[in-house]
Amino acid sequence: MAPSTYYAAKDRAPSARAVSDAVLMPELVTLWNANYCVYGVRKLWKTARRAGIDIGRDQTGRLMRAAGIEGAIRSKRVKTTRPDPTSTRHPDLVKREFTATAPNRLWVTDLTFVPTWAGVAYVCFIIDAYSRTIVGGGARLTCAPRWSSTRSRWPAGREVVTTRI
Protein backbone atom coordinates (compact mmCIF):
# COMPACT_ATOMS: atom_id res chain seq x y z
CA MET A 1 0.00 0.00 0.00
CA ALA A 2 1.32 3.36 -0.93
CA PRO A 3 1.81 5.89 1.89
CA SER A 4 -0.50 8.39 0.22
CA THR A 5 -3.27 5.75 0.07
CA TYR A 6 -2.83 4.95 3.77
CA TYR A 7 -3.01 8.60 4.86
CA ALA A 8 -5.94 9.28 2.51
CA ALA A 9 -7.90 6.42 4.11
CA LYS A 10 -6.87 7.47 7.62
CA ASP A 11 -7.88 11.10 7.14
CA ARG A 12 -11.09 10.33 5.23
CA ALA A 13 -14.38 11.27 6.87
CA PRO A 14 -16.52 8.35 8.07
CA SER A 15 -18.83 6.89 5.45
CA ALA A 16 -22.59 7.38 5.47
CA ARG A 17 -23.00 3.74 6.56
CA ALA A 18 -20.62 4.19 9.52
CA VAL A 19 -22.47 7.34 10.57
CA SER A 20 -25.91 5.69 10.37
CA ASP A 21 -24.58 2.60 12.19
CA ALA A 22 -23.31 4.78 15.03
CA VAL A 23 -26.80 6.31 15.35
CA LEU A 24 -28.83 3.10 14.93
CA MET A 25 -26.83 0.74 17.14
CA PRO A 26 -27.66 2.40 20.50
CA GLU A 27 -31.34 2.59 19.48
CA LEU A 28 -31.41 -1.13 18.67
CA VAL A 29 -29.69 -1.99 21.95
CA THR A 30 -32.25 0.14 23.82
CA LEU A 31 -35.15 -1.64 22.06
CA TRP A 32 -33.53 -5.04 22.74
CA ASN A 33 -33.12 -4.23 26.45
CA ALA A 34 -36.70 -2.92 26.64
CA ASN A 35 -37.91 -6.31 25.42
CA TYR A 36 -36.11 -8.36 28.09
CA CYS A 37 -33.08 -9.10 25.89
CA VAL A 38 -34.88 -11.94 24.11
CA TYR A 39 -35.68 -10.50 20.68
CA GLY A 40 -33.86 -11.95 17.69
CA VAL A 41 -33.23 -10.29 14.36
CA ARG A 42 -36.76 -10.65 12.98
CA LYS A 43 -38.61 -9.39 16.06
CA LEU A 44 -36.14 -6.58 16.72
CA TRP A 45 -36.38 -5.48 13.09
CA LYS A 46 -40.20 -5.37 13.26
CA THR A 47 -40.08 -3.55 16.61
CA ALA A 48 -37.66 -0.98 15.17
CA ARG A 49 -39.94 -0.43 12.18
CA ARG A 50 -42.93 0.07 14.52
CA ALA A 51 -40.83 2.57 16.51
CA GLY A 52 -40.27 4.59 13.34
CA ILE A 53 -36.68 3.52 12.65
CA ASP A 54 -36.08 2.99 8.92
CA ILE A 55 -33.85 -0.08 8.92
CA GLY A 56 -33.54 -3.27 6.91
CA ARG A 57 -33.65 -6.81 8.32
CA ASP A 58 -30.12 -7.69 7.22
CA GLN A 59 -28.84 -4.39 8.57
CA THR A 60 -30.52 -5.20 11.89
CA GLY A 61 -28.71 -8.56 11.98
CA ARG A 62 -25.38 -6.94 11.13
CA LEU A 63 -25.76 -4.30 13.83
CA MET A 64 -26.85 -6.91 16.40
CA ARG A 65 -23.70 -8.92 15.68
CA ALA A 66 -21.58 -5.78 15.93
CA ALA A 67 -23.21 -4.86 19.26
CA GLY A 68 -22.80 -8.41 20.57
CA ILE A 69 -26.50 -8.99 21.21
CA GLU A 70 -28.59 -11.98 20.16
CA GLY A 71 -32.05 -13.38 20.70
CA ALA A 72 -33.00 -16.02 23.23
CA ILE A 73 -32.25 -19.58 22.17
CA ARG A 74 -35.19 -21.85 22.84
CA SER A 75 -33.59 -25.21 22.07
CA LYS A 76 -32.83 -27.65 24.87
CA ARG A 77 -29.23 -28.65 24.39
CA VAL A 78 -28.21 -31.76 26.23
CA LYS A 79 -24.89 -31.36 27.96
CA THR A 80 -23.40 -34.83 28.21
CA THR A 81 -20.12 -34.02 29.94
CA ARG A 82 -19.78 -32.00 33.10
CA PRO A 83 -16.10 -31.82 34.05
CA ASP A 84 -15.11 -31.32 37.66
CA PRO A 85 -13.04 -28.10 37.69
CA THR A 86 -11.27 -29.08 40.91
CA SER A 87 -10.01 -32.47 39.77
CA THR A 88 -6.55 -32.94 38.30
CA ARG A 89 -6.35 -33.81 34.62
CA HIS A 90 -4.50 -36.80 33.26
CA PRO A 91 -1.32 -35.83 31.43
CA ASP A 92 -1.49 -35.60 27.65
CA LEU A 93 1.11 -38.24 26.81
CA VAL A 94 0.86 -37.82 23.02
CA LYS A 95 0.62 -34.00 23.00
CA ARG A 96 -2.60 -34.18 20.87
CA GLU A 97 -0.66 -35.91 18.08
CA PHE A 98 -2.81 -38.93 17.20
CA THR A 99 -0.53 -40.54 14.64
CA ALA A 100 1.48 -43.73 14.97
CA THR A 101 4.39 -45.17 13.00
CA ALA A 102 3.37 -48.83 13.41
CA PRO A 103 0.40 -50.90 14.60
CA ASN A 104 -0.19 -51.22 18.37
CA ARG A 105 1.89 -48.14 19.20
CA LEU A 106 -1.00 -45.82 20.05
CA TRP A 107 -4.54 -46.71 21.02
CA VAL A 108 -7.23 -44.07 21.35
CA THR A 109 -10.46 -44.57 23.28
CA ASP A 110 -13.86 -42.93 23.09
CA LEU A 111 -16.42 -43.27 25.86
CA THR A 112 -19.93 -41.96 25.25
CA PHE A 113 -23.46 -42.62 26.34
CA VAL A 114 -26.60 -43.11 24.30
CA PRO A 115 -30.03 -42.51 25.87
CA THR A 116 -32.47 -45.34 25.06
CA TRP A 117 -36.07 -46.12 26.01
CA ALA A 118 -34.85 -48.54 28.67
CA GLY A 119 -32.17 -46.36 30.21
CA VAL A 120 -28.70 -45.21 29.23
CA ALA A 121 -26.28 -47.27 27.14
CA TYR A 122 -22.61 -46.55 27.81
CA VAL A 123 -20.40 -47.42 24.84
CA CYS A 124 -16.61 -47.53 24.71
CA PHE A 125 -14.43 -48.05 21.64
CA ILE A 126 -10.67 -48.62 21.59
CA ILE A 127 -9.12 -47.72 18.24
CA ASP A 128 -5.62 -48.39 16.91
CA ALA A 129 -4.39 -45.00 15.65
CA TYR A 130 -2.20 -46.55 12.95
CA SER A 131 -4.72 -48.81 11.24
CA ARG A 132 -7.83 -46.86 12.32
CA THR A 133 -9.57 -50.09 13.33
CA ILE A 134 -11.51 -50.94 16.46
CA VAL A 135 -9.43 -53.27 18.61
CA GLY A 136 -11.73 -53.44 21.62
CA GLY A 137 -14.57 -51.92 23.50
CA GLY A 138 -17.63 -52.60 25.54
CA ALA A 139 -21.16 -51.55 26.25
CA ARG A 140 -23.31 -51.38 29.35
CA LEU A 141 -26.99 -50.62 29.67
CA THR A 142 -28.13 -49.02 32.91
CA CYS A 143 -31.87 -49.49 33.12
CA ALA A 144 -34.21 -46.86 34.42
CA PRO A 145 -37.69 -48.18 33.56
CA ARG A 146 -40.49 -45.72 32.95
CA TRP A 147 -43.54 -47.85 32.14
CA SER A 148 -45.36 -50.47 34.18
CA SER A 149 -44.94 -53.06 31.42
CA THR A 150 -41.16 -52.83 31.71
CA ARG A 151 -41.12 -52.78 35.51
CA SER A 152 -41.93 -56.47 35.64
CA ARG A 153 -38.94 -57.25 33.43
CA TRP A 154 -36.46 -54.67 34.74
CA PRO A 155 -36.47 -53.89 38.45
CA ALA A 156 -35.52 -50.31 39.31
CA GLY A 157 -31.77 -49.72 39.48
CA ARG A 158 -30.81 -52.99 37.76
CA GLU A 159 -27.80 -53.03 35.49
CA VAL A 160 -27.45 -55.31 32.50
CA VAL A 161 -24.25 -57.32 32.09
CA THR A 162 -21.42 -55.73 30.13
CA THR A 163 -20.87 -57.16 26.66
CA ARG A 164 -17.70 -57.17 24.57
CA ILE A 165 -17.70 -55.71 21.07
**Cβ-contact 146, 125 below 8 angstroms:** no
Among 67-81, 94-108, 123-137, the least confident range: 67-81
Q: Pick from 137, 140, 117, 114: which is nearest to 127 by CA?
A: 137
Q: Decide if 34 is inside a domain.
A: yes
- At residue 152, does pLDDT exceed 70? no
Q: What percent of the chain has pLDDT over 90?
A: 42
pLDDT in tens, 51-62: 999 999 999 999
Q: Decide if 91 is inside a domain.
A: no
User: How far apart are the C-alpha atoms of 72 and 85, rounded to whole Å?
Assistant: 27
Do 111 and 160 belong together in one domain? yes
Tell me, what amino acid is at 155? P
Strands 133-143 and 119-128 come out as antiparallel
Q: Decide if 151 is inside a domain.
A: yes
Domain count for the chain, please give it: 2
- At residue 150, does pLDDT exceed 70? no
Q: Decide if 50 is inside a domain.
A: yes
Q: Decide if 160 is inside a domain.
A: yes
- The angle that helices 57-67 and 41-50 make with each other, rounded to 10 degrees, is 110
- The angle that helices 16-34 and 41-50 make with each other, rounded to 10 degrees, is 100
Task: Quote the domain boundaries for residue 137.
Answer: 107-164
pLDDT in tens, 111-141: 887 877 777 888 888 888 888 888 888 777 7
Residue 20, Cβ neighbours under 10 Å: how many? 15
Q: Pick from 37, 27, 28, 45: which is nearest to 73 by CA?
A: 37
Q: Decide if 77 is inside a domain.
A: no
Tell me, what amino acid is at 156? A
DSSP for 22-55 reads HHHHHHHHHHHHHTTT---HHHHHHHHHHTT---
Average pLDDT for 75-96:
80
The phi and psi torsions of 58 (rounded to 5 degrees) equal -65, -35
Q: Pick from 15, 1, 55: which is nearest to 32 by CA?
A: 55
Q: Decide if 122 is inside a domain.
A: yes
User: How far apart are the C-alpha atoms of 71 and 64, rounded to whole Å?
Assistant: 9
Of residues 138 and 24, more confidently modeled? 24
Sign of CA dihedral 46, 47, 52, 58: negative
